[in-house]
Amino acid sequence: MNANRQAPPGAILGALLIVIGLFILATRYVDALSGAATWPFFVIGPGVVLFLVGLILPNVGMIIGGTVVTTVGLILFWQAETGLWATWAYVWALVGPGASGLGTFIGGLRTGNRRMVSAGIWQMVIGMALFIGFYLFFEEFIGLTGNKLPLPEWVFPGFLILLGVLVLIQGFFHLGDDSWKAEVQWKDSRHQHGATETPEAVPPAASAPPSPPPSTAEPAELEAPVEPESPPPPPEEPGASG
């Protein structure tokens, strides 16, 4: 399955205009939205549209981008309602790698990519760990917003130890790496060039065994044939002469 199909021209813009129109109607006729800070919905709306279009196509990049933009909008809505803008000191971890990991996980489920699913889960775990760690530091130690929780003193150092163990596991076992990106790019390039299936590897033709190397030894000198010796003449008989 192609993991990055391109959206038709005008599809994103049309869906975005529909969402904005529905939101404006909701602010006019829904009492719950009349007194609330509605401007973050202009961030949430495009994020939702981007996510849905990416989910339909599918397009992994649009899914991840839509998840991140929607998460940012939701955080802005919460901060606008509570006035706790200083919480960006630690809520950024919910955006990246938290929201990006969620988008990667959903994109992997949509395209059937197991590596992407595994990478998304690990990114979400790291994002939540960073969020909790920085929350404990800024709220429990510094008192950034004054919303300190009645936690034991060992919670923060214990969490740092746990976070260090997770980082060591990730480093040794290469969990949550980006190897799925190369696989997605390879599939997309094959789709753009019209390739269908991976051709099977054709074994090379059998070749004749290599001839032995020529001998470097000098040829032996030929010996001249030995001529047989002539037999001695027979002895003369006595009295034969005269």
Cα atoms in the 13 Å half-sphere on the side-chain side of 229:
3
Range of 99-108, 154-163, 214-223 with top mean pLDDT: 99-108
Q: What is the mean pLDDT of residues 108-112?
A: 92
The band of 103, judged by pLDDT with boundaries at 50, 70 and 90, is very high
Task: Kindly report the pTM of this predicted structure.
Answer: 0.66
Whether the CB-CB separation of 35 and 64 falls below 8 Å is answered with: no
pLDDT digits (tens, 9 = 90+) for 209-234: 556 665 555 555 555 556 666 666 66
For 43-126, list the strands marked E by DSSP.
Answer: none
Return the bridge partners of 59, or none. Answer: 4
Range with the lowest mean pLDDT among 79-83, 184-188, 202-206, 224-228? 202-206
pLDDT computed for residue 237 by the predictor: 60
